[in-house]
A and B are shown apart, each in its own frame.
Chain A
């Protein structure tokens, strides 16, 4: 695997400026989205490119023998996970620790939610312990949005229900960009339960802004027609119910974790799923020869993907994991400290963390008008 090849010559010029939203977006309306990271849907292609570029120096760090920075020394990241998660929680925890930050951990099983406390009360209690950032995983779609309306500290959505998983979307895009050199105009095939996948939505919202075309494939009840209209451009998403056809000409294949047991719906036979939609080597040959395979994990080997494909040369699943830490380091850095000065990237210049406080000063308070959801009515 040659994960560096794609980045050659693509070391994009980092945007710099004075505020923590130093990014010079073409549209003025976009800057407030970096207050929190709640979803990828509202971000522009320029903003997304910026976030990916900001992650690159942190990718470097993962290859160093000594991986710990002091950039966020004295800062605290609250990890509030109201839904079972091992991988994402460890990834954010590791990202925080490699930046020198401390973490507070709240897990659903240990929380007081079972004692009847509301999410808002739990979050306010956590906030009173003065973390500098809240990373939230919750089973209810939109809960990071709801929580962010009530908090002054930045909120990062670590996966909300069946809505979005923005850091996963970013790490997938970073992985694709590394392997393919670009994320523009690719044929992306997504396999599985797309209706209930926050990973699929974040990928569509991100890659769709770069001209990618999507083929969604899975059991029809998991791929409703409404999905064709959620992308940024019309006609960029199509549904196909034969996996052989769906894989034709694919540059990127994203296999989703399949849960045959459903909360509100009848279950589907796993045998049927394997028969029609399992990604195996033979089917993968329909894709372009240099197609890559992504999976957000954890994998059900033998259900949505065969071991042969999962472990094969086209698979990027382990790079995804490593890139996850880089992306999450960049997000924590950007949201807690702000945009680094030109030439002073924490992962390059390795400051001792003194600049963290300065940058913090310049961080304006949450502006009310930016957070006030407009209730357009008719």
Chain B
């Protein structure tokens, strides 16, 4: 048993913002009561959360754990350790492993590996098409039975409108969300960053914002046609956000997520440093502004990291040749505090929603601090100063653009199924 005392509990689902104590019994929450009212049994472990926020366990909808196949960049063990440090109690891992998670045996392999090595819950996402090749539909039903929580061909878009339509029809009947990496491949071919004055100055091949929003527009129309739940991954462009906003006004089942690097950095930050290379690429100043508005006004449903580790040897090459992707677990909450809460753009409650109730809704589940619910909690500070040092990261990779950045606030402890899997000392 574990008693979390003296914390300020924030739970957007139950609309709670109060000093509460929480008693965890095994994997479930046993009791929630006003501070001081709960007395655990003799010898109960006590976590003093004085001055800290206690929230439902944070969920990351979008990560790459690289296992199986690219264990030199990350494993389920190292990736989830970094996730725990970042305050996440559950991570959804994208299917672009080697082999691709497009069948139940790969799904089971991931879940088996997670059982023995993961610090946090691992929720696999299955491929939409076989091998994510964009031709035939993957074994989605079998994967669902094995435990996938959504489908996606992430890393690239579902190749054709025809296939996207069929996957959406099928997933609607299976009650699974289709997560789209929105990108028009022909507009993005050869591009290594966002098209704009900076790409023009640097002589780097750019993709226009339309490379993303053309595909978002396609998929929103297909979501309307099929009635499927469409979720736009790592949305980066104002034009894409406008599509999502219009879809929501029409009550379509369309949601979206934004990454911390897209709401923090812009294309002007790119200086031939491959730690600033990811896909979708860092967008324009105006796009970032629009994302900040979307995060505040509710158009954006979730913050997701798109944690994409690459071992140093892969990243330490010419900008053109470097693979896309940055690590993100360990800096996500701190960046959200810095950019959104400390900058007075959103409330702490909204921040918690973007990491909990929002992503839960995308997956069709509920997350709240309530007796009988899973004992997953994220405890964070909104003001303690610290500096991110990538060389001390739990990830196997080092490709973070935020090395050396000083933050105010961040994760203090992560509790999964009643167990403290990370605690700051």
Chain A residues with CB under 8 Å of chain B are 41, 118-120, 138-143, 145-146, 160-164, 195, 198, 201, 224, 226-227, 229-230, 263-264, 373, 375-378
Q: What number of A-B contacts does a CB cutoff of 8 Å give?
A: 89
Q: Does any Cβ of A come within 8 Å of B123's Cβ?
A: no
Is B401 on the interface with A (CB-CB < 8 A)? yes
Complexed CA–CA distance, A139 and B320 (Å): 9
Q: Does B201 contact A (CB under 8 A)?
A: yes
Contacts A373-B273, A375-B273 known; A142 to B202 CB distance under 8 Å? Answer: yes
Of B276, B317, B402, the contact of A118 (CB 8 Å cutoff): B317
B311-338 vs A, Cβ < 8 Å mask (1 yes, 0 no): 0010011111100000000000000000
Task: Place the interface of chain B in its size category.
Answer: 20 to 34
Let me know if B318 and A138 touch, CB within 8 A: yes
B405 in the interface, Cβ–Cβ < 8 Å?
A: yes
* Cβ-defined contact, B264 with A146, below 8 A: no
For A195, A376, A378, the residue with the greatest tally of chain B CB atoms inside 10 Å of its CB is A378
Provide the bound-state CA to CA distance between A145 and B273, in Å. Answer: 9
A172: shortest Cβ distance to chain B, in Å?
A: 17
Point out the residues of chain B lying under 8 angstroms from A201, CB to CB: 201, 203
Q: Is B117 an interface residue (CB 8 A)?
A: no
Taking beta carbons and an 8 Å cutoff, which residues of B are in contact with A?
Answer: 189-191, 195-197, 199-205, 264-266, 269, 271-273, 276, 288, 313, 316-321, 401-402, 405
Interface of B is mostly: loop
- Kindly list chain A residues whose C-beta atoms are within 8 Å of the C-beta of B191: 264
Interface pair B317/A227, CB less than 8 Å apart: no
Question: Which residues of chain A are near B202, meaning CB under 8 Å?
Answer: 141-142, 163
Query: Are A226 and B196 interface neighbours, CB within 8 A?
Result: yes
When the two chains form their complex, are residues B203 and A161 in contact, meaning their CB atoms are under 8 A apart?
yes
User: Is the pair A146, B190 in contact by a Cβ cutoff of 8 Å?
Assistant: no
Given the known interface contacts A142-B318, A263-B190, the answer about A376 and B203 at a Cβ–Cβ threshold of 8 Å is no
Q: Please, which residues of chain B bring their CB within 8 A of the CB of A263? A: 190
Q: Tell me the dominant secondary structure on chain A's binding face.
A: loop
Question: Which A residues are in CB contact (< 8 Å) with B266?
Answer: 378
Report whether A141 and B189 are in contact in the complex, using a CB–CB cutoff of 8 Å. Answer: no
- Shortest CB distance B196–A (Å): 6
Quick one: which of B195, B269, B313, B316 contacts A375, CB cutoff 8 A? B269
Quick one: which of A119, A141, A164 has the most chain B CB within 10 A? A141
Q: Which of B203, B313, B402 contacts A141 (CB 8 A)?
A: B203
Q: Are A120 and B316 in contact (CB under 8 A)?
A: yes
Beyond A143-B320, A229-B197, 13 extra complex contacts between A and B, CB < 8 Å: A138-B318, A140-B319, A141-B272, A142-B272, A142-B319, A145-B271, A146-B272, A162-B203, A198-B203, A226-B199, A230-B200, A375-B269, A378-B288
B201 to A, closest residue via Cβ: A230
Set of chain B residues within 8 Å of A164, measured between Cβ atoms: 203
Query: Are A377 and B319 closer than 8 Å at their CB atoms?
Result: no
Given the known interface contacts A119-B318, A377-B264, the answer about A195 and B204 at a Cβ–Cβ threshold of 8 Å is no
Question: Assuming A143-B318, A162-B203, is B265 touching A378 (CB within 8 A)?
Answer: yes
Assembly CA distance A143 to B200 (angstroms): 16
Least Cβ–Cβ distance between B277 and chain A, in angstroms: 11
Q: Say yes or no: A140 contacts B405, CB within 8 Å.
A: no
Tell me the smallest distance from the CB of B199 to a CB of chain A, in Å.
8
User: Is the Cβ of A119 less than 8 Å from the Cβ of B317?
Assistant: yes
Sorted nearest first, the 4 A-B pairs with minimum C-beta distance are A142-B272, A163-B203, A264-B190, A162-B203
